[in-house]
Amino acid sequence: MPDTFIGLMSGTSLDGIDAVIARFDHDGGAPAMLHSHYQPFQPLLRDALLALNEPGHDEIHRGAVAANQLAHAYAAAIRTLLAQAGLGARDIAAIGCHGQTVRHQPDAGYTTQIVNAALLAELTGISVICDFRNRDIAAGGQGAPLVPAFHLHAFGSATEHRVVVNIGGIANITDLPAGGIAAGFDCGPGNALMDEWIAANLGRAYDDSGAWAATGVAIPKLLNTLLAHEFFARQPPKSTGRDMFNLAWVRRALSGDEAAVDVQATLLALTADGIAQGIARHCAGAREIFICGGGARNSALMMRLASLMPDKRVANTGVLGVDADWVEALAFAWLARQTLLREPGNVPSVTGARGLRILGAIYPA
């Protein structure tokens, strides 16, 4: 079996597909990323996936159609990736595919990530491993976040107490004490609310570098109202998604007199403050904070995080040798490899599962 895997990630931000080719050695270190490719979602597919986050008419049919369309989009990204790398299907052991989360209800015993994995295997000629979260939920866990297992593998240190913060649509924290047991949890919104608000007000997909938010002023009363959501005070293990944090929730907190740019500044503050509070409450002693995900490219967000934690080093994971944009896609390549090796992919201290579990369902080519 080749030790080269493809990792696919399309997250809560719903911006597009991150695809990587990763090669694994046997020295226990982080995988080498050989090639990467980003493919934006077509607007119609993005709209269909976003609509599935809420109840609606004929959603079983719409979900199945969207899962097929997503498989075709993933396959297109993989074809481009392989062409760039000069590789073929036979060179890849498997595809680790997260799928697209449309519901996350671990307290009700389920999470739903849609993709037609059988179709993706048929289109690519490569075995597909997906459905990583439900095995953990079956064992009493939250099914999320899953990336802390990879963070421990790639960024853990025997001498330094580190925290890794992934800021995608939702933000999650991984606590990595020196030589200790990893812990982690979702800490609240990441980019999703900021993306939705700027799209609704300026028609842009995202706030590039946080430039629009930087021209506004966070509204203290609104920020305090949003931070009063019970999720922020909840003890880990905990996970969340668009089911809980969405634009309708924000709008219920508005008086109607706020300037749109000040709301954007407040949503940026909400993300930063949720992260900083989570670290202060649950990662005592950490001195190094490493950021990955799309939020690492938001300069205004990074500046607020640094100002909230002046006694800590705040940097992106690139300084540790793993590009911040590709950490999650690499994580799902790693999780696919864990599945084929019949090795655990969860961290029970993170998800709350009853123990270590082998994650994922295999769709052979």
Could you give the CA distance from residue 348 to residue 162 in angstroms, rounded to a whole number? 19
Answer yes or no: are the C-beta atoms of 300 and 209 closer than 8 Å.
yes
**With pLDDT > 90 as the criterion, what percentage of the chain qualifies?**
95
Q: How many residues does the chain have?
A: 365
Domain boundaries, the chain: 4-143+326-363, 147-324
| Distances from the Cα of 43 to the Cα of 40, 48, 282, angstroms | 9, 9, 39
**Per-residue pLDDT tens over the stretch 49-71:** 999 998 999 999 999 999 999 99
CATH superfamily of 4-143+326-363: ATPase, nucleotide binding domain (3.30.420.40)
Q: Which fold has domain 147-324?
A: Nucleotidyltransferase; domain 5 (3.30.420)
**What are the structure tokens assigned to 146, written together?**
């899953």
**Per-residue pLDDT tens over the stretch 264-294:** 999 999 999 999 999 999 999 999 999 999 9
pTM of this prediction?
0.92
CATH fold match for the domains 4-143+326-363 and 147-324:
yes
* Band of residue 353 on the pLDDT scale cut at 50, 70, 90: very high
Could you give the CA distance from residue 271 to residue 308 in angstroms, rounded to a whole number? 12
What phi and psi values does residue 225 have, to the nearest 5 degrees? -65, -45
